[in-house]
């Protein structure tokens, strides 16, 4: 079609508006629309009578309109758990003839007749690059190594809904045949059936993250099945396009040849060229430009073959090498394409959709309603049947899986848009299928949010605190990390945690990944495929599946594998704002005793103290994640500030340690309180390792200790605040006998352990504590301290007045920010929350004769001279 004509006889490009004088007597696939196209104004934009009639101002107005409306709808729908793509589709529809498209303001300023072609061309280019990004992040391994559950779910979601969608088109075709003069296009049912059969992987991943179902069995199965479904639907889409064209044999043959050419010639050639022109996988702008030009060339070739330009872009992304090249391309173009160009496609879909015509042109509301219901139920029913009867899932999970597989997205819109381009779908059938796809996509999130709650919350388990671990109990640790670059210190810390035959360690190494589009969600698929391959007894296959993802984590911790130490690598993919929920839920699912979080400021190899530079800047999102985990975790939590805590770069030679290796010199600073007791319990366990020497420095208030009642933040002196002060002081008094009791136990049990010693120091305030600790500079590799949550003590008076990281507690903040501990790692421990009050079995503080006294529990006669041997405590359990 010529670019500009005085009178355009348009196919699908300008069949957008209900321009009644031109519609009379016309076939529904064609509208004759006459308009005057003004190319430019010689006098310039500022002197034009209507600047919006110019190409560039019109495009800018359209872009601003769709972006603004999409942002507004996305924000409004977020609380209803409606996916982003549903908001974007609705935004395009509201700007089209179904919404404000017929208003005088819109016709003059947003949807001018002559600007639509420019809009569609730019939207097509944007979608070409978007599908290239989808292909670049796609992997064929889930198809080749997917589990039986994922493959059967994907096949059932295509085999049954496809003929149902095919039949639904004919259910409406009688009404439309009258309107279209008895000439319905016979290929329209193919596009309907395929659109209903699709499942959109990227938008499904976002929906699962919003519902916190990413790491459930239903979430993993649906993600893996969506990958398989996407690839199969692309293949069926090519066949459908070939069938709808006159030269169907030519399309099938040439497209098949081109696919083989890409996989067997272009893919190896691209790897060779990139390897020859880049050094250590460092790619520059020349590589990016070359690849982006290749995308357009591949799109042009497949379009010339008769399939679709989007398929060529997707195929080019699939065959390119992944790794650093993918990261470089994504950093260059992903945000611009996804956030700026892709919404234009939804605008075009909306301009082609006129829901008013479904009623005004003789189509019955009953028929439309029946079509919508059957289209929605088709995939839910087929997936449920396979999940319940074949894969033996529960009915609840089967329905949830069916709803998730009903999530539609860009691929389904591309399919029906292509059908409209070749006039296989007329305006009415196109409008009905758009409405059906929007309802299916928008309804999934709210339905699952109201009816399907993941059963994550197990009952209260016994070992929630480090002190609760008995001598014959398994120690379960959740070790989180942002990347493998600084994992050496964490590996060394876990190695020093003293796994024994009586108390083995089961560790879960969790890679924290932000959910950004499809690549991060693909990690979940790889984890699922890896687990399936391992479960099937194919170790090599398992390694191959996760070679780019989970294996990098496993390799960093593989040295820990041993008789008494098991390690499992996991990936937690979530938005930063909700990542703490995944960490806490995973800790409860795995019944973890200790969760170790990496400090958000990463140290250099030389170690840093004050002014350390964070990888993500001063406002790192991981800092918020750590704060939220500390506030919500049920088990004990430790924040690990790693300054190269490993056996090779730091350490003092240990005489008599066997083989002349290195011994870690660890200092545990004990100020008192629950957190300090849990920190001492962990340091005590570490001290039993033959490579570790432990010094416990206990600080006691001196005679001139400051009065803490006037130093409690938030209390100014009114009646209610006075009550709070009294409660805080009473709590601190209650902790003192428990501290004394645990210290006495420690002294008794370590008296014959030469690598462990206890030193007591007297201090009047926080300044004295800092002065004494600063005198230990250079002596220790690791400082272990309690967070001191809720503790009111003269020993910490004044330390939080100028704190940089208050979430670390008063002493933890001093150690992290000080210069005297710049070369030492720091571990800040917070005790887990329990369901049983600590007083039970440990005695209690009571008011007697006007002052607080501690009343010990009744002692077991077999161990009465020392301490109660067994207690039923999960909050701060004492043990021997």
How much is the pLDDT for 870? 34
> At 104, is the pLDDT very low, low, confident or very high (cuts 50, 70, 90)?
confident
- Whole-angstrom distance, CA of residue 512 vs CA of residue 597: 10
657 token code pair: 């340690």
Q: What is the mean pLDDT of residues 657-667?
A: 61
pLDDT band at 34 (very low <50, low <70, confident <90, very high): low
- The closest alpha carbon to 153, from 390, 395, 452, 441, belongs to 390
| CA gap 252, 231 in Å, rounded | 17
Is residue 843 predicted with pLDDT exceeding 50?
A: no
Of 819, 568, 832, the residue nearest 675 (C-alpha):
832
**What is the per-residue pLDDT across 673-688, written as a single tens digit (0 to 9) for each?**
999 999 999 999 999 8
CA distances from 624 to 25, 599, 620 (A): 64, 11, 7
- pLDDT of 532 higher than 80: no
DSSP state of 660: S
Residue 855 has pLDDT above 70, yes or no: no
Residue 46 scores a pLDDT above 60: no
Q: Among 211-225, 450-464, 749-763, 846-860, name the one with the lowest average pLDDT.
A: 846-860
pLDDT value of residue 819: 83
User: 605-626 pLDDT, tens per residue?
Assistant: 444 444 444 444 456 788 999 9
pLDDT value, residue 694: 93
In tens, the pLDDT along 714-747 reads 444 445 445 555 565 666 678 888 999 999 999 9
Rounded average pLDDT over 357-370: 72
pLDDT, tens digit, for every residue of 499-526? 888 899 999 988 888 776 555 555 566 5
- Per-state percent for the chain, helix, strand, coil, to nearest 5: 55, 10, 35
pLDDT reported for residue 161? 93
Q: What pLDDT does 31 receive?
A: 55
User: Coil, strand or helix: which one is 507?
Assistant: strand
Work out whether strand 692-701 and strand 825-830 pair parallel, antiparallel, or are unpaired. unpaired
Q: Please give the structure tokens belonging to residue 303.
A: 């379009």
Confidence of residue 544 (pLDDT cuts 50, 70, 90): very low
CB 248 within 8 A of CB 242: yes
Strands 851-855 and 844-848: antiparallel
Domains along the sequence of the chain with CATH: 126-344+355-451 (1.20.1530), 466-855 (3.40.50.12370)
553, 543, 475, 466: which is closest to 509 by C-alpha?
553
Q: What burial letters (b/e) apply to 832-868, b meaning 16+ CB within 10 Å?
A: bbbeeebbebbbbbeeeeeeeebeeeeeeeeeeeebb
Chain mean pLDDT for the chain? 77
pTM more than 0.85: no
Compute and round to an integer the Cα radius of gyration of the chain. Answer: 33
């Amino acid at each position: 079609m010529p670019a500009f004509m005085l009178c355009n006889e348009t196919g699908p490009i300008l069949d957008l508006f209900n321009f009644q004088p031109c519609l009379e007597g016309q076939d529904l696939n064609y509208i004759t629309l006459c308009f005057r196209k003004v190319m430019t104004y010689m006098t310039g934009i500022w002197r034009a009578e209507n600047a919006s009639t110019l190409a560039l101002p019109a495009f800018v107005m359209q872009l601003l309109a769709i972006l603004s409306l999409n942002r507004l709808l996305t924000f409004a729908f977020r609380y209803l758990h409606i996916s982003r793509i549903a908001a974007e589709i609705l935004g395009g529809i509201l700007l089209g003839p179904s919404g404000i498209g017929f208003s005088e303001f819109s016709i003059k300023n947003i949807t001018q007749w002559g600007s639509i072609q420019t809009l569609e061309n730019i939207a097509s280019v944007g979608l070409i690059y978007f599908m290239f990004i989808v292909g670049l992040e796609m992997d064929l391994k889930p198809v080749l190594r997917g589990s039986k559950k994922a493959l059967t779910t994907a096949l059932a979601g295509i085999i049954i809904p496809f003929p149902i969608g095919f039949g639904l088109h004919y259910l409406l075709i009688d009404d439309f045949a009258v309107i279209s003069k008895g000439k319905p296009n016979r290929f329209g049912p193919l596009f309907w059936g395929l659109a209903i059969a699709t499942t959109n992987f990227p938008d499904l991943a976002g929906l699962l993250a919003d519902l916190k179902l990413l790491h459930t069995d239903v979430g993993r199965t649906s993600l893996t099945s969506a990958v398989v479904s996407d690839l199969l639907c692309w293949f069926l889409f090519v066949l459908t396009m070939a069938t709808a064209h006159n030269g169907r044999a030519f399309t099938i043959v040439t497209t098949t040849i081109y696919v083989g050419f890409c996989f067997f010639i272009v893919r190896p050639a691209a790897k060779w060229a990139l390897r020859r022109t880049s050094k250590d996988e460092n790619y520059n702008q020349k590589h990016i430009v070359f690849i982006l030009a290749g995308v357009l060339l591949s799109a042009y070739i497949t379009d010339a073959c008769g399939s679709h330009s989007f398929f060529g872009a997707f195929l080019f992304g699939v065959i390119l090498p992944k790794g650093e090249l993918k990261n470089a391309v994504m950093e260059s173009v992903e945000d611009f394409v996804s956030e700026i160009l892709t919404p234009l496609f939804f605008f075009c879909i909306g301009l082609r959709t006129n829901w008013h015509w479904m009623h005004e042109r003789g189509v019955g509301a009953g028929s439309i309603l029946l079509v919508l219901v059957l289209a929605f139920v088709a995939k839910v029913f087929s997936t449920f049947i396979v999940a319940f009867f074949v894969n033996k899932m529960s009915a609840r999970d089967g329905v949830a899986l069916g709803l998730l597989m009903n999530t539609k997205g860009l691929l389904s819109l591309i399919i029906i848009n292509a059908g409209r381009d070749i006039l296989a779908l007329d305006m009415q059938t196109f409008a009905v299928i758009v409405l059906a796809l929007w309802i299916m996509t928008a309804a999934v999130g709210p339905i699952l949010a109201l009816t399907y709650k993941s059963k994550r919350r197990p009952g209260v388990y016994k070992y929630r605190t480090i002190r609760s671990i008995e001598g014959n109990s398994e120690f379960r640790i959740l070790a989180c990390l942002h990347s493998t670059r600084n994992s050496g210190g964490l590996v060394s810390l876990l190695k020093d945690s003293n796994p024994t035959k009586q108390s083995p360690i089961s560790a879960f190494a969790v890679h924290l990944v932000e959910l950004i589009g499809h690549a991060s969600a693909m990690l979940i698929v790889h984890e699922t495929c890896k687990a399936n391959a391992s479960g099937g007894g194919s170790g090599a296959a398992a390694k191959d599946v996760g070679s780019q993802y989970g294996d990098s984590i496993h390799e960093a911790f593989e040295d820990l594998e041993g008789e008494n130490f098991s390690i499992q690598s996991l990936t937690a993919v979530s938005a930063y704002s909700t990542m703490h929920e995944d960490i806490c839920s995973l800790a409860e699912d795995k019944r973890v005793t200790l969760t170790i979080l990496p400090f958000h400021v990463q140290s250099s190899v030389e170690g840093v103290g004050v002014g350390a530079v964070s990888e993500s800047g001063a406002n790192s999102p991981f800092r918020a994640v750590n704060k939220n985990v500390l506030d919500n975790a049920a088990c004990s939590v430790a924040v690990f500030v790693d300054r190269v805590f490993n056996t090779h770069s730091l350490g003092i030679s240990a005489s008599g340690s066997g083989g002349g290796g290195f011994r870690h010199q660890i200092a545990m600073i004990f100020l008192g309180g629950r957190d300090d007791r849990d920190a001492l319990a962990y340091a005590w366990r570490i001290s039993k390792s033959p490579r570790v020497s432990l010094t416990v420095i206990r600080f006691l208030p001196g005679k001139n200790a400051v009065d803490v009642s006037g130093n409690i933040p938030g209390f100014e002196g009114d009646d209610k605040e006075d009550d709070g002060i009294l409660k805080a002081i009473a709590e601190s008094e209650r902790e003192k006998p428990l501290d004394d009791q645990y210290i006495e136990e420690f002294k008794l049990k370590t008296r014959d352990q030469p690598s462990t010693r206890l030193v007591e120091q007297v201090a009047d305030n926080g300044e004295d504590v800092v002065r004494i600790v600063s005198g230990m500079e250079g002596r220790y590799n690791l400082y272990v301290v309690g967070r001191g949550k809720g503790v009111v003590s003269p020993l910490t008076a004044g330390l939080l007045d100028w704190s940089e990281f208050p979430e670390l507690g008063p002493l933890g903040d001093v150690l992290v920010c000080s210069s005297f501990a710049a070369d030492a790692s720091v571990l800040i421990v917070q005790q887990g929350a329990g369901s049983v009050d600590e007083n039970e079995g440990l005695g209690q503080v009571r008011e007697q004769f006007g002052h607080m006294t501690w009343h010990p529990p009744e002692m077991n006669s077999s161990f009465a001279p020392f301490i109660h041997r067994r207690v039923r405590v999960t909050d701060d359990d004492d043990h021997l």
